[in-house]
Structure 1
Amino acid sequence: MTAQATRVRQSRTGRSNGQWAVDGREPLNHNEEFKAEDNGLNVRERIEKVYAREGFDAIPADDLHGRFRWWGLYTQRKPGIDGGRTAQLEPHELEDRFFMLRVRSDGELLSPAALAVLGSISTDFARGTADITDRQNIQYHWISVEDMPEIWRRLETVGLETTEACGDTPRGFLGSPVAGVAADEIIDPTPVIAEIKRRYLGDPELANLPRKFKSAITGHPSLDVAHEINDVSLVGVVHPELGPGYDLWVGGALSTTPRLAERLGTFVTAEQAPDVWHGVIRIFRDYGYRRLRTKARLKFLLAEWGTEKFREVLENEYLGYRLADGPAPARATSPGDHVGVHEQKDGRSYVGAAPVVGRVSGSTLTDVGTLVERVGASGVRLTAHQKLVVLDVPSDRVEELVEGLEAIGLSTRPSPFRRNTVACTGIEFCKLAIVDTKDTAAATIAELEQRLAGVELDTPISLHVNGCPNSCARIQTADIGLKGQIITTDDGEQVPGFQVHLGGGLASDDREEGGLGRTVRGLKVAAADLPDYVERVVRRFLAERDGTETFATWAHRADEEALQ
């Protein structure tokens, strides 16, 4: 269907969705107005020349609550505001005079020098805070606007950036942490990510999207980038005639209306990949819904169009050629977190290690950099599971590295619950959060490690803890997903707690295919009772499972009583 035919068909509905290619570019809400008035990329100059000198009070609202995001900055939550007031207060009433800052890694190797810089920023400007996110970012807190010029200067000395780390932009790429080194790799996606970034990151033409746009690219058979929940993903496959390349997926995202991505059935060569990515993001820019923020994700456009039309528009209007049909990825061959010691194709090793729910610190990052340099490894990559992987470790230095990581709080042999638990930022810093996540998850892990120490778990059980309904911790795709809310106990007391989702998972989670978890009516757990609940449901699963049945399979067939 041509763009003109699309405009004619949709204009008959009589209602503008704010689609540029259909309805024109007139802004339909304030978010669209401030983006039209001034590109978010332009705010960096004002931060460096005005706000860093004049301070927080000099920042106007549209820059503070809008354009700052284009450079990775959000105001953080003011301490002492309980979760019950999150929905009652306006954003400016919840915010502090400090910022959360995201640094993108885009699947790139972080050298010892880069780790030293990341550690120094935490120590010098972020009160020691640093988290590894499930988007492969490093996330800081307590950042002052006055310090941003120096932070950017330091980052740029080691090739790192915060450009479009947040906002209505092409946010950080998820890339395979073992790209270029894994012995079983199908194709190395590193050149594709680098070329897309070179061409398009910071491009003003792509800096006003309807909302955020998330990308993932992997060539590893572990399917290690959570491709089913990204707006666009390129997944390594081998075409029977064309050789190694990528399978294209579009339209995945979670939040309050979860939807898994769908295959377009196309085969994309490495040479075509940057153009295909560019075509998909421009479809979102031009046809994505802008009238309502709650509908301004690619998944809603895909739901209306379907995969056949999406492919047709991509090929006819944006690429100008037809893509070959191609195969789907095979089932994952190994866990996508890469924890443990693994041999590389060159005889060296890569070593994956787990912090507790992604929480590290400036001293941890600095110490990792020192350790990596000492053992002669090349650097670190971050994972989509809040872990890190050290690459190119000489075989005779592996145990030295393993022991060194353990000494600084990073385990290469973590307990099942430490390995498989993910948590978002939570009420400690996030203005949207209702409950604590990081400390609650860490305490739950410690309890479960004691209570289930003698229990044989031959299948992973993932636990994802989220502080609000927005699913930054991917709760609908966890074995046990927990959505933060204030709940009422049997005694009538209102306390922090969670709604429970059970049996979700991705194709990389030892499943034939990804799927969303089920909710059980009325199943809510107080935060203080979380260890009791997880222990109870895990023991019930082990007692009732059928042979080698996974937790997700059991959870979808079990009766509600068994899941309480």
Structure 2
Amino acid sequence: MTIEQPTPIRGARTRTTRTPTKPHGQWAVDGREPLNANEEFKLADDGLNVRERIETIYAKGGFASIDPTDLHGRFRWWGLYTQRKPGIDGGRTAQLEPHELEDEYFMLRVRIDGGQLTTQQLRVIGEISTEFARDSADLTDRQNVQLHWVQVEDVPEIWRRLEEVGLSTTEACGDVPRVILGSPVAGIAADEIIDPTPQIQEIADRFIGDATLANLPRKFKTAITGHPSQDVVHEINDCAFVAVEHPELGIGYDLWVGGALSVVPRLGERLGVFVAPDRVAEVWHGVTRIFRDYGYRRLRNKARLKFLLADWGVERFREVLETEYLDSPLPDGPAAPKPTSLGDHVGVHAQKDGRFFVGAAPLVGRVSGSTLTALADLAEVHGSQRVRTTPHQKLIVLDVPEPEVENLIAGLDAIGLSARPSLFRRGTIACTGIEYCKLAIVETKANAAEAITQLEQRLGELEPEIGRPITLHVNGCPNSCARIQIADIGLKGQLVSIDGEQVPGYQVHLGGGLANVDREEAGLGRTVRGLKVAADGIADYAERVIRRYLADRELDETFAVWAHRADEEALQ
């Protein structure tokens, strides 16, 4: 067999490559013999099968009764990870084994495809949080809600309550198709091109929980939007559909594949095809099966679709998709136009039916069960029964009659959700961080929240001059759950040396971003050699670099454009 030289990942440092002497573990090429421990446990028993053991054995026997392989592997297929034991500092993250880092409590991730919730569903999540999860709740940047402090004894009852209202944790984690990102204003925005809800629902109904797709090389992320703001960060998903109008074929989708961040970021690429709405599920299934059959499995750090696309290229990927996995080829299609507005949907916006939706920002995605329950009550009082989560850690209340808008905004403020946030609150997101995550090195939520407060005090008067949100993304480790490489200011958690002392801090990425109303195309942030920030110094650094930007920028120049052209001295 001839093994191709790998193509360098876009945005990564150039490396000298050698022809590999070992198989990649591609099922369609190398067979299904497992080549590492992860592949062994997946082959031994489908991850979906662990649910029965949780319900019949582990929930009755408690944490000590859980088989280690189930605990550290298959539990993920049902949205469960052990959380970090309190008191273990970031310097020990890489030194300890998983069982030494973990507590006997779980993070439980509620899957919310498209971010669509009824107020009844939201209330159930809130009540589960207050009863079983110490009132914890975080909004993720993938439209899910994460609860903490969950005990295995309570999981069956939590599932029962979620499923009673049409929610689940199925494949919320694990080597499976993760939650489907969808435009949070699907079906209601006045300027929407197409409502992607039927496509999202078809994929979820047909394929989530499908045993034939429950053993992928690693996680597989999907995004679908019909909104002109392109509000689902499609460039960093494995498979994404973006609304477009074909000059002859009408409204459909532009297909993107192979995007992902983490330690080797790669932006997705267009296949150059037009996907009619009634073929979206078929095409998604084809792309997913390409990943299943041809994705690299031997090394976990290469087991994402982006590495296969880098080696194959767009032309070969399209050829394999059309000839091996689809019933018929796809027509060529145009690229979607540049986004027309910001995609976080914060503020008050008209719906197509004359009512309004109101987008509000919590503080770096941190809410609580009590807050979610209060939001459900508040929405209903003001005429709404629908709420949505967003890929930007925001919440949106739909269907608000115009006379109720201002009263709703006042009520949101009272529970810690701002529909008119500062630019700093609006533009800042943070991952879970060392508080709960076993991979984290540095605290994130509290540090980011404190930075927002400080920046509002120090730079609040300059907001009219700044003009647009400068995105600040804070991550507790190199894995980029908070999307550090596509932020104006991205902070990657690590131990840093400051004045000769090693302390928790962040490496700085500057000038990244996805295509938006101010930016023609997506691009990764730059790093500056030696530029590190102490964990308690976020506000100091952000204030310094923002003031320098305001002093040096050219007319209407965005922070990202300035950051890429600025001298390193200006970015210190």
Moved more, 421-430 or 100-109: 100-109
| Deviation for aligned residue 1:226 | 0.2
Give the aligned partner of residue 4 of structure 1: none
Residue of 488, 494, 515 corresponding to 2:523: 515
Partner of 2:38: 31
Are 2:84 and 2:434, in contact at CA under 8 Å, matched by a contact in 1? yes
The structure 1 residue matched to 2:406, chosen from 399, 402, 419, is: 399
Question: 1:81 is matched with which residue: 77, 88, 110?
Answer: 88
Give the structure 1 partner of residue 285 of structure 2: 278
Asked if the contact 2:78–2:169 (Cα under 8 Å) also holds between the matched residues in 1, the reply is: yes
Is the contact made by 1:224 and 1:508 (CA closer than 8 Å) also made in structure 2?
A: no
Q: Identify the match of residue 556 of structure 2 among 529, 548, 556.
A: 548
Counterpart position of 2:135? 128
Secondary structure of the 1:441 match is helix
Match of 2:267 in 1: 260
1:332 shift after superposition? 1.1
| Amino acid in the other structure paired with 2:503 | V
Which runs of structure 2 are paired with 1:368-407 in the superposition (5 Å)? 368-407=375-414
- Residue pair 2:115, 2:181 contacting (<8 A) in 1 also: no
Matched, 1:364 2:366: no
| Cα separation, 1, equivalents of 2:255 and 2:516 | 16
Judge conservation of contact 1:102–1:139 (CA < 8 Å) in 2: yes
1:347 aligned to 2:354? yes
- Which segments of structure 1 move beyond 4 Å, counting only runs of 4 or more? 7-14
- Percent identity between matched residues is 72
Shift of residue 86 of structure 1?
A: 0.6
Output one character per residue of 1:343-372: Cα deviation in whole Å (capped at 9) or x when no partner: 011100011000000000011000000011
SS in 1 for 2:438: coil
| Aligned amino acid, residue 68 of structure 1 | F
Say if 1:317 and 1:465 are closer, same or farther in 2 by CA, change over 3 A.
same
Is 1:416 aligned to 2:427, yes or no? no
Rounded Cα–Cα distance in structure 2 between residues aligned with 1:397 and 1:280? 44
Q: Which among 493, 516, 528 is matched to residue 536 of structure 2? A: 528
Q: Is the partner of 1:62 in helix, strand or coil?
A: helix
Cα distance per residue 1:136-177 (max 9 Å; x no partner)? 000011000000001001101111000000000000011000
From 169, 174, 178, the counterpart of 2:176: 169
CA RMSD of aligned residues (A): 1.2
SS at match of 1:272: helix
Query: What is the alpha-carbon distance in structure 1 between the residues aligned to residue 301 and residue 20 of structure 2?
Result: 20
The amino acid across from 2:167 in the alignment is L
Residues 389 and 138 (structure 1 numbering): CA distance in 2 closer, same or farther, change over 3 Å? same
Superposition pairs of residues 30-429 of structure 1, within 5 angstroms:
30-429=37-436
Letter of the structure 2 residue corresponding to residue 471 of structure 1: S
Q: Distance in 1 between matches of 2:375 and 2:543?
A: 33
The answer to whether the 8 Å contact 2:115/2:390 transfers is no
Task: Give the Cα separation in 2 of the matches to 1:402 and 1:14.
Answer: 61
Alpha-carbon separation, structure 2, partners of 1:331 and 1:237: 11
Residues 509 and 358 of structure 1, relative CA distance in 2, 3 Å threshold: farther
User: Who is 1:452 aligned against?
Assistant: 459
- 1:513-561 alpha-carbon deviations (Å, 9 max, x no partner): 0000000000001112211110000000001001000000000000000
Which residue of structure 2 aligns with residue 498 of structure 1? 506
Q: CA deviation at 1:394?
A: 1.1
Contact map agreement 1:165 1:171 (CA 8 A) in 2: yes
Shift of residue 496 of structure 1? 1.0
Aligned to 2:471: 462
The answer to whether the 8 A contact 1:168-1:210 is kept is: yes
Q: How many angstroms does 1:195 deviate by?
A: 0.4
Q: Tell me, which stretches of 5 or more residues in structure 1 are unaligned?
A: 1-6
Could you list the per-position Cα deviations for residues 110-136 of structure 1 after superposition, in whole angstroms to 9, with x for gaps in the alignment? 111111101011100110100000000
Who is 1:561 aligned against?
569
How many angstroms apart in 2 are the aligned matches of 1:377 and 1:136?
Answer: 20
User: CA deviation digits over 1:493-522, x for unaligned, max 9?
Assistant: 221110000000001362100000000000
> Hey, what's the Cα distance between the residues in 2 that align with 1:9 and 1:133?
39
Equivalent residues of 1:10, 1:22 under 8 A apart: no
The aligned residue for residue 484 of structure 2 is 475
Contact 1:418 1:445 in 2 (8 A): yes
Per-residue deviation, 1:321: 1.2
The structural deviation recorded for 1:8 is 6.7
Deviations 1:233-267 (Å, cap 9, x if unpaired)?
00001111111110000000000000000000000
Given that 2:364 and 2:448 are in contact with CA atoms closer than 8 Å, whether structure 1 keeps it comes out as yes
Query: Quick check: 1:481–1:501 contact (8 Å CA) kept in 2?
Result: yes
Q: CA deviation at 1:378?
A: 2.6
| Segment of structure 1 superposing worse, 467-476 or 448-457 | 448-457
Structure 2 CA distance, aligned partners of 1:319 and 1:421? 41
Q: What TM-score, normalized by structure 2, do the two folds share?
A: 0.96
The one-letter code sitting in structure 2 at the alignment partner of 1:292 is L
Name the CA distance, whole Å, in 2 between partners of 1:547 and 1:104: 44
Residues 304 and 376 of structure 1, relative CA distance in 2, 3 Å threshold: same
Q: Which amino acid aligns with 1:555?
A: A
Counterpart of 2:498 in structure 1 is 489
In 1, Cα distance between equivalents of 2:243 and 2:521: 16
Displacement of 1:75: 0.4
Give the Cα–Cα distance (whole angstroms) in 1 for the partners of residues 106 and 516 of structure 2.
Answer: 34
Q: One-letter code of the match for 2:502?
A: Q
Distance 1:406 1:10 in 2: 57
Give the match for residue 20 of structure 1.
27
| Cα distance in structure 2, aligned partners of 1:557 and 1:238 | 35
The letter of the residue matching 2:496 is: I
User: Which residue identity is paired with 2:321?
Assistant: L
Q: How far apart, CA to CA, are the structure 1 residues paired with 2:354 and 2:120? A: 25
One-letter code aligned to 1:545: R
Rounded Cα–Cα distance in structure 1 between residues aligned with 2:265 and 2:169: 27
How far residue 13 of structure 1 moved from its aligned partner, in angstroms, is 6.6
Please report how far the alpha carbon of residue 107 of structure 1 lies from its aligned counterpart in structure 2 after TM superposition: 1.2
For 1:494 and 1:108, the matched residues in 2 are separated by: 40
* Shift of residue 376, structure 1, vs aligned partner: 1.0
Q: How many residues align?
A: 557
For 1:500, the aligned partner's letter is: V
Supply the AA of the counterpart residue of 2:311. E
More deviation in 157-166 or 14-23?
A: 14-23
Q: In structure 2, what is the Cα distance between the partners aligned to 1:9 and 1:290?
A: 16
Structure 1 residue 379, shift from structure 2 partner: 1.1
CA distance in 1, matches of 2:79, 2:73: 11
Per mean C-alpha deviation after superposition, the further-off stretch among 72-81 and 328-337 is: 328-337
In 2, the alpha carbon distance for the partners of 1:14 and 1:322 equals 35
Q: Distance in 1 between matches of 2:123 and 2:20?
A: 56
Distance 1:447 1:220 in 2: 34
Q: Is the 8 A contact 1:227 1:235 kept in 2?
A: yes
Indicate if the aligned counterparts of 1:226 and 1:508 stay in contact, CA closer than 8 A. no
